[in-house]
Amino acid sequence: MANSSRGSHLHIPGFIFNLSLAIFFLCFGLVCSDPVLSIEEIYVPALDKTSNDTENTTIFFDIKFNNRDDGSESYPKTYYDTLNVTIYYAQNLNVPVGNVTIPGFRQGTGRTTYRKETVRTVGVPWETAYYRGF
């Protein structure tokens, strides 16, 4: 009987080592990366020198949402709140010329989502911007 109790004490350091490894990998393996947002494309028809459409006052843009998380099941999705995008003309940053609201959405782990949006602008001197090479 003395041998069996002595043998169980030999397993305690191994158990503590394995538990420490498990805690280490759980804590550092579940770290999430921040999502990345980028503007992939922006198009202003009034500034397109190959087009004669100077009356079109809209701005088109494509936003890329990249959830770089590595696939950890503890954080399976990212939720984006409603995103308000406001556009200003370079001459006066105090007066917005247009805005759009992108509704909130969920994005899966390791996924990329694109949102193409259109903004109708008001009060932008497109003729001046066109000739200045805005």
> Do residues 101 and 38 share a domain?
yes
Q: Tell me: the pLDDT tens digits for 69-99?
A: 655 555 567 888 898 888 887 766 777 888 8
> Do residues 17 and 80 share a domain?
no
- pTM here? 0.63
> Do residues 9 and 47 share a domain?
no
Note the pLDDT of residue 56. Answer: 83
| Number of domains making up the chain | 2
**45: pLDDT confidence band, cut at 50, 70 and 90?**
confident
> Do residues 68 and 26 share a domain?
no
| 67 vs 100, higher pLDDT | 100
Alpha carbon of 104 to those of 21, 47, 81: distances in Å?
Answer: 38, 31, 4
CATH code, domain carrying 94:
2.60.40
> Do residues 86 and 110 share a domain?
yes
**22: pLDDT confidence band, cut at 50, 70 and 90?**
low
Average pLDDT over residues 17-24: 63
Note the pLDDT of residue 126. Answer: 73
Nearest to 81 by CA among 106, 117, 56: 106
For 19, the domain range is 1-30
Two tokens, residue 81: 């709140």
State CA 26 to chain mean position distance.
Answer: 25
Cα–Cα–Cα angle for 20, 23, 27, rounded to 5 degrees: 140
